[in-house]
Amino acid sequence: ALLEPAERPLAGRRIIVTSGPTHEPIDPVRYIANRSSGKQGHAIAAALARLGADVQLVSGPVTIPDPAGVSTTHVESARQMREAVEGLLPADAAIFVAAVADWRTADAAGEKIKKVAGEGPPALQMVENPDILAGIGHHARRPFLVVGFAAETQDVLKNAKAKLDRKGADLIVANDVSHDSGIGPGGVMGGDRNRVRIVSKTGAEEWPELTKDEVAERLAALIAGRLQAIET
């Protein structure tokens, strides 16, 4: 059923969302990755689309389907993700949910690295990936609203606040991804539930433990409220 205009408060708004992990190649058959499933990012993209937004999702490699009503660009590495995001500007808002690999190998080997008797394991040389959120948070064409996530296993609030400042974000959604976070089977990464705190310059708000879909609904409503302040 079509929603009334009042129920589509994000109509006419363009919103970029990143989701999933990134894969950083070691050689043609191996890569560095992390445990992100894309569930939270994809749920946020879908929730924003249900409120009428033109959602541009940039997804790393995931096994879940593209969300309905969303335009999805598929990428592998952090550098490809950054390029895709920058190519989608300008936007009214950008939500960075992806678990971007912090490091990649300095030079991915062109051929499969072979075991050589007596030589031991290869010493992989690592370099830092670009920070996509920080790049957009300080961009000349910065979206009106920039939202990041913070995956922490300790000092959640303090670390989230530091990320807010460093990356030029308006909001940070902080979650405890430690195995003893109290969130059951599988924890936050890969699981279906999440417990987050919304950190802004003025303080932090704690949400109860919710499904990732419920977190997405609430966050989409919060974003709609923030964007109401600007002209279409």
Instruction: Assess 131 for contact with ligand CTP (CB under 6 A).
Output: yes
Residue 34 falls in the annotated catalytic set: yes
Instruction: Assess 104 for contact with ligand CTP (CB under 6 A).
Output: no
Contacts 24+ apart (CB under 8 A), 103-106: 103/24, 103/32, 103/127, 103/128, 103/129, 104/24, 104/25, 104/32, 104/77, 104/78, 104/79, 104/129, 105/24, 105/25, 105/26, 105/32
Instruction: Assess 129 for contact with ligand CTP (CB under 6 A).
Output: yes
Identify which range of 9-17, 55-63, 124-132, 199-207 contacts ligand CTP by CB under 6 A.
124-132
Instruction: Assess 134 for contact with Ca ion (CB under 5 A).
Output: no
The encoded tokens of residue 187 equal 């924890």
Phi first, then psi: what are they for 135, rounded to 5°?
-60, -40
Instruction: Assess 132 for contact with ligand CTP (CB under 6 A).
Output: yes
Q: Which CB sits closer to ligand CTP, 9 or 101?
A: 101
**Which residues, 77 to 96, sit near ligand CTP by CB under 6 A?**
78, 96
Identify which range of 8-16, 51-59, 125-133, 198-206 contacts ligand CTP by CB under 6 A.
125-133
**Minimum gap (Å) between residue 150 Cβ and ligand CTP:** 4
Q: How far apart are CA 7 and CA 37, in angstroms?
A: 29
Q: How far apart are CA 38 and CA 75, in angstroms?
A: 13
Instruction: Assess 151 for contact with ligand CTP (CB under 6 A).
Output: yes
Phi first, then psi: what are they for 115, rounded to 5°?
-70, 135
* β pairing state of 145-152 and 171-176: parallel
Instruction: Assess 102 for contact with Ca ion (CB under 5 A).
Output: yes
Phi first, then psi: what are they for 183, rounded to 5°?
-95, 125
The verdict on whether residue 39 carries a ligand-binding annotation is no
Please list the active-site residues. Answer: 34
Binding residues: 102, 112, 130-133, 149, 163, 167
Task: List contacts with ligand CTP (CB under 6 A).
Answer: 18, 78, 96, 98, 100, 102, 129-133, 148-151, 163
